[in-house]
Amino acid sequence: MEEKVASIIKALKEAYPDPMCALHYRQDYQLMIAVRLSAQCTDERVNLVTPALFERFPTLDAFAEADIAEVEQYVHSCGFYKHKARDIVLACQMLRDEYGGKVPGTMEELLRLPGVGRKTANLLLGDLYRVPGSVVCDTHCIRISNLLGLAQGKEPEKVERQLRDILPPEESSDFCHRIVLHGRAVCVARKPQCANCTLAPWCDHFHSAK
């Protein structure tokens, strides 16, 4: 498995040399907000919504003092807007009141924030603090890890544990970003382009479908 993982990481690095998060942000709390909005919504949609949102509420304090109903109007098109707007305002209040105005750098502290689960926490740890072993288990990561044979099951926490056991800690965050890029470009859920896939040599699904 170690050799297989190393080969997959090498191929992903060659295919996607710049594994950046697709969400646009300038401040740490803005990434937290964007990730919350991205739940069951596309990153493209979030990136269309956040410029006006961040202009209307230009600081953490502005979000902490915002009228939730007004935030709802800005994030309406992202879906589940009532829950998301409430979580955003309450999380920003907690950042201001309990964390000194900064997104915290530990899993335990992040999970206290309204609307922040393990997927969001791992992304924040990996992107903001480069914490080794940060595994972001979104739908692309879960689906493609199963196809490759790196993990089994659809439960995010179980897949996260399985990937954490086999991925080099320093590569895990970038691996997850690259898997998302690969899932959008090649290993598309509805019609995976197996014939053009750089990961085909190490993919259990590809070999079983022959």
* Annotation marks residue 102 as catalytic: no
State how far the Cα of 183 lies from the Cα of 189, in Å rounded to an integer: 7
**Among 28, 119, 127, 174, the one annotated catalytic:** 119
Is 138 one of the annotated active-site residues of the chain?
yes
Q: What is the rounded distance in angstroms from the CA atom of residue 61 to the CA atom of residue 92?
A: 8
Catalytic residue among 138, 158, 174, 204: 138
Asked if 110 and 125 touch (Cβ cutoff 8 Å), the reply is yes
The token duo for 177 is: 């970003």
DSSP H stretches of helix in 102-203? 107-110, 118-129, 139-148, 156-166, 172-185
Residue whose tokens read 């739940």: 39
Catalytic residue numbers read 119, 138
